[in-house]
Amino acid sequence: MNFVLDTNVVSEFSKPRANANVMAWHDAHDSARLFTTTISLGEVWQGFHLLPTGHPDYARIKAFANDLPRRYRLLNFDSRAAAKWGQVTAEVRQPLPLRDSFIAAIALSRGFTMVTRDVSPFERMGCKVLNPWK
């Protein structure tokens, strides 16, 4: 089984005291089956760029963001994901968080399971979802 790690999952590894359940789940899976998206990478970089340069974690978070493409294979919002996004958002007909809907479409277009703490938007899009915090 392949997994798409949401931003809140990959960001957990940048925390000084990461959630033990998330760490255990992550370590129990083959790294070749763990993916993240360019959308999540963008969100991590956005968080970094919102930090003042004097922030005590500035260098650590910059290094974390730079390392993400080496740590996980990145999935793009490509034509398959775009087609799935158009189909599912037309069916849902309720507002969805835009970035989450893009990430969900990437996972759905590949048949991968979403790993996230914020399960609601992904379930509404029809994703298989796993919450490692529970």
The DSSP annotation for 90-105 comes to HHH-S---HHHHHHHH
Residue 94 has pLDDT above 90, yes or no: no
Burial code of 15-26, b = ≥16 C-beta within 10 A, e = fewer? eeeebeebeebb
Percentage, residues of the chain above pLDDT 70: 100
The 10s digit of each residue's pLDDT in 36-62 is 999 999 999 999 999 999 999 999 999
Q: How many CB atoms lie within 10 A of CB 46?
A: 12
Q: How far are the Cα atoms of 13, 28, 57, 74 from residue 33, in angstroms, in the given order?
A: 17, 11, 29, 12
Q: Which domains does the chain have, with CATH numbers?
A: 3-130 (3.40.50.1010)
Report pLDDT for 23: 95
